[in-house]
């Protein structure tokens, strides 16, 4: 009889855990992002709260100051668009037209202040060309040329 009791207890724990994940915990553990249209639709509720914003880098919107490590660009989903500002060197593969997800806060000034920038890219690694210095890899930010 004790084996049967343990089996019922284990099944109850599994069912309770599954129910908690399904109804309460899973939405807090899933990583998702808002599109520019969705963030703009939130209105005042979208300001100054931590959020992930995802979309495409609008062509010809990238402004990169190499000396100050200051990057500005516009994220669009085809309907809405939001200007983004971040500090620090962007990922090497960052360029116009690619998919990005930025983490940060949307300010009352209409600019998304990003603390993290992630790019969508292929799984192929391409090493620097022979003789190429790491600093030269960022030249493609402004001219749009790829490796």
Q: How is the chain split into domains, by residue range? A: 1-30, 36-121+132-143
**pLDDT at residue 147 in the model:** 43
- 13 vs 20, 26, 27, 75, CA distance in Å? 10, 17, 20, 45
- The answer to whether the Cα torsion of 55, 97, 105, 122 is positive or negative is positive
pTM assigned to the model = 0.65
54: β partners: 101
Q: Mark 61-82 as b/e (b = at least 16 C-beta within 10 Å).
A: ebebeeeeeebebbbbbeebbb
CATH architecture assignment, domain 36-121+132-143: Beta Barrel (2.40)
Give, for all 147 residues of the chain, the pLDDT tens digit: 688 888 888 899 998 888 777 776 555 555 578 999 999 999 998 899 999 999 999 999 999 898 889 999 999 998 999 999 999 888 878 888 889 999 999 999 999 999 999 887 655 666 667 776 656 655 555 555 544
- For residue 45 the two structure tokens come to 């509720």
* CA nearest neighbour of 108 among 46, 15, 26: 46
Would you tell me how many other CB atoms lie within 10 Å of the CB of residue 12? 10
């Amino acid at each position: 009889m004790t084996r049967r009791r343990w089996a019922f207890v284990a099944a109850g724990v599994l069912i309770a855990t599954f129910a908690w994940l399904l109804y309460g915990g899973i939405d807090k553990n899933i990583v998702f992002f808002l599109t520019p249209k969705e963030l703009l639709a939130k209105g005042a509720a979208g300001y100054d709260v931590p959020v992930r914003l995802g979309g495409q880098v609008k062509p010809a919107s990238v402004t990169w100051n190499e000396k100050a490590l200051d990057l500005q660009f516009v994220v669009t989903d085809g309907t809405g668009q939001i200007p983004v500002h971040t500090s620090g060197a962007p990922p090497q593969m960052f360029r116009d037209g690619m998919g990005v997800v930025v983490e940060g806060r949307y300010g009352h000034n209409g600019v998304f202040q990003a603390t993290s920038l992630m790019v969508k890219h292929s799984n192929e690694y391409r090493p620097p060309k022979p003789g190429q210095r790491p600093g030269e890899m960022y030249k493609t930010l402004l001219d749009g040329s790829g490796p």
